[in-house]
Amino acid sequence: MKKSILIATAILFLLIIFTVVKIYPFISAMSKFEVVEYDKNLTLVFGGGGNTGILTGEKEVLVIDSKIMGGKSKLFELVKQKAGNKPIILVNTHLHADHSQGNSLYKGNTIIAGAYTKEQWIAENGEEGMPTEWVKDSKEIQVGDETVIIRNKGQAHTYNDTVVFLKKRKILFFGDLLMIGMHPFLKKKDGSSITLYLKKQNETMDEFQPEKIVPGHGRTGDAELVKEFQEYFTDTKSVAEGKSEPDKIEEKYKHWIPFLSMSGTRETINYWREELKK
Ligand SMILES: [Zn+2]
């Protein structure tokens, strides 16, 4: 009897250790909160969920993505400091919680997202903090001396991925249409399509020709970032097609962070397999 309890306790202990080790990189990426004052009016905030931009104008403050867990409240405090009594315009690049769970804190302000149906939004996030405006194609707003283009790129990572381009600064906020150092979370229900990912990335780069890119997760950079991410899709595709060894590709991307146990090299390869069947 005693022996079986001991074995069960040991198994449980090992399971807990295994889970903690597995999700640690993700939790650590989500709890990071790094504030970079890019220029006088533009602040970038990394971690705490998806990457965020705060653009301060004379009359309003624009926020790109509202983060999750502890990051959402820290971000809101920072936004409030910058906004004072000015209205806040929040843009969600897409409906995943790590980019939109903080929405409820912005009650009474404008919240913009791509044209998901209300049912799609509620199924993912509930009713609280639901966007007040849905962009079907494109919307342009002026914040101080910056022209902000909010463009719904349609289906790729989800059904309505929105990118935000700051025209004067030539900075593109790519949302999860671009992720660096983190495996993309691909979900059929949300409309993820790797083929469309590549198409929309190329289209967006051709149209805006940004000098600086802020991905949904990971470090900022230039057009090289897109090449890096596309190489990941090319590598995983070649395994799906049986043209290269999975172990080699897994080794190459072993430093990329999985989204809990829902994304990873193997998950992307399997997603490719399903997509290539069509
Ligand atoms: Zn996402």
Query: Of the candidates 216, 260, 265, 213, which has an alpha carbon nearest to the alpha carbon of residue 27?
Result: 260
**Residues facing 217 on adjacent strands:** 179
Integer Cα distance of 74 and 183 in angstroms: 25
What letter represents residue 102's amino acid?
A: G
Q: Are 157 and 136 in contact (CB under 8 A)?
A: no
pLDDT of residue 12: 85
Distance CA 112, CA 115 (A): 9
Read off the pLDDT of residues 24-66 as tens digits, 9 standing for 90 and up: 667 777 778 999 999 999 999 999 999 999 999 999 999 999 9
Cα 70 to ligand 1 centre (Å): 18
Q: What is the pLDDT of residue 111?
A: 98
237: phi then psi, degrees, rounded to nearest 5: -65, -40
Cα–ligand 1 centroid distance for 58 (angstroms)? 31
The pLDDT of residue 22 is: 66
Distance 254 CA to ligand 1 centre (A): 20
Residue 17 alpha carbon to ligand 1 centre in Å: 27
E strand map for 85-167: 88-91, 110-114, 133-135, 138-143, 146-152, 162-166
Q: What is the pLDDT of residues 166-203, one digit of tens each?
A: 999 999 999 999 999 999 999 999 999 999 999 999 99
The answer to whether residues 108 and 129 touch, using CB atoms and an 8 Å cutoff, is: no
CA of 11 to the centre of ligand 1 (A): 34
How far is the centre of ligand 1, averaged over its atoms, from the C-alpha of 96 (Å)?
Answer: 5
Query: Separation of 157 CA from ligand 1 center, angstroms?
Result: 7
Q: Mean pLDDT throughout 231-252?
A: 96
- Domain residue spans of the chain: 1-31, 32-277
Higher confidence at residue 229 or residue 260? 229
CATH 3.60.15.10 fits 32-277, yes or no: yes
For residue 159, the model assigns a pLDDT of 96
- pLDDT value for 7: 86
Alpha-carbon span 257 to 267, nearest angstrom:
13
- Cα 147 to averaged position of ligand 1 atoms, centre (Å): 25
pLDDT for 85: 94
How many A from CA of 172 to the centre of ligand 1? 17
**Residue 84: its pLDDT value, please?**
95
> Contact, 26 vs 259, CB < 8 A?
yes
Cα–Cα nearest to 128, from 144, 145, 107? 107
- The CA 4 to ligand 1 mean position distance, Å, reads 43
| Distance of CA 12 from the midpoint of ligand 1 (Å) | 32
DSSP 144: T
pLDDT at 9: 87
User: What mean pLDDT, rounded, does the chain reach?
Assistant: 94
Q: How many alpha carbons fall within 13 Å on the CB side of residue 121?
A: 25
Query: Rounded to the nearest whole angstrom, what is the distance from the C-alpha of residue 94 to the centroid of ligand 1?
Result: 7
Q: Ligand 1 mean position to 85 CA, how many Å?
A: 31
11 versus 96: the higher-pLDDT residue is: 96
| Cα 221 from Cα 209, distance rounded (Å) | 13
The answer to whether 261 touches 253, Cβ cutoff 8 Å, is: no
pLDDT of residue 1: 61
Q: What's the gap in Å between 49 CA and the centre of ligand 1?
A: 10
1 CA to centre of ligand 1 in angstroms:
48
Average pLDDT of the segment spanning 115-143? 96
- Does residue 154 contact residue 168 with C-beta atoms inside 8 Å? no
- pLDDT at residue 267 in the model: 96
Helix residue spans in the chain (DSSP H): 2-31, 69-83, 97-100, 118-125, 194-208, 223-240, 246-252, 265-277
User: Which residues contact residue 250 at a Cβ distance below 8 angstroms, ignoring those fewer than 6 apart?
Assistant: 265, 266
